[in-house]
Chain A
Amino acid sequence: MEFAIEALISFFLIVAGVFGLVGSFGMIKLTDTLQRLHAPTKATTLGVGGVLIASMLYFLLIKGGLSFHELMITLFLFLTAPITANFIAKTFIQGNLRAKDLPDSQGEFGWSVYADPPNRTDDNDE
């Protein structure tokens, strides 16, 4: 039983290490900035997630106390990762692309980086 517990924790630790390494290796392997945006998602979800699962199992099964702090960290990372990715993509688009490089937004308004926000009150063009 002791061996099974240790094997389970070690398995999660090794999976987390491999995915963290893959996520960071993508940062130097991929060639384009928007491709590189894809790589750290592995490190965020499976890398940190595996470490947190291993930590929860370790403190639950070996130390004998259950703690939910890990779930809070996971929840926080899962909530903030899309926001940072959106901001980084916007930064790249603003610095490197023009409005004509992007596909049509298929809506009433243009893309947020280039077009004015809808319902501006100080606009007297029309």
Chain B
Amino acid sequence: MITTALIFAFGCFGLGLLFNLWRIATGPDNADRILALDTMVINIIALLILYGIWQGTAVYYEASMLVAMVGFVSTVAYCRFVLRGDIIE
């Protein structure tokens, strides 16, 4: 039963990644693309944790924690670059 639920969750988050990719491709504004990239990071964190349950190991928490940190920093850096034309002033 857990396997079926895991496959369902994998499908949901994978489909969500495709939706975000659509928004990145067609987004009329820079803010849309940043938002879609941020949501992609969220979905990938969820996928990594799901893969950890699938494999039955706990080593993927470190990976998802790192992805969360890098995602936050990259989102803020991209926003700073669009806002100010520079990342560190």
Q: What is the interface size of chain A, counting residues whose CB is below 8 A from a CB of the partner? A: 55
Do the beta carbons of B1 and A7 come within 8 Å of each other?
A: yes
- CA distance in complex: A80, B38 (Å): 11
Query: Are the C-beta atoms of A88 and B34 separated by less than 8 Å?
Result: yes
A95 and B30 contact, CB distance less than 8 A:
yes
Q: Are A17 and B13 in contact (CB under 8 A)?
A: yes
Q: With a CB–CB cut-off of 8 A, which chain B residues contact A9?
A: 2, 5
* Residue in A closest to B72 when the chains form the complex, CB atoms: A80
| Neighbouring B residues of A37 by C-beta, 8 Å | 35
- Interface size band for B: 35 or more
Q: How far is the CA of A13 from the CA of B7 in the complex (A)?
A: 10
A87-113 contact mask (Cβ, 8 Å, vs B): 1 or 0:
111111011100000000000000001
A:12-65 near B, CB below 8 Å: 13-14, 16-18, 20-21, 23-25, 27-28, 33, 36-37, 39-40, 43-44, 47-48, 51-52, 54-55, 58-59, 63, 65
Report which A residues bind B (CB closer than 8 A): 3, 6-7, 9-11, 13-14, 16-18, 20-21, 23-25, 27-28, 33, 36-37, 39-40, 43-44, 47-48, 51-52, 54-55, 58-59, 63, 65, 67, 69-70, 72-73, 76-77, 80, 83-84, 87-92, 94-96, 113
Chosen A-B contacts, 29 in total, with CB atoms closer than 8 Å, are: A6-B2, A9-B2, A13-B5, A13-B6, A17-B13, A20-B12, A20-B43, A24-B13, A24-B17, A24-B20, A25-B19, A27-B19, A33-B29, A36-B35, A47-B46, A48-B49, A51-B46, A52-B49, A55-B49, A65-B58, A70-B49, A72-B65, A84-B72, A87-B34, A87-B83, A88-B35, A88-B38, A90-B79, A91-B30
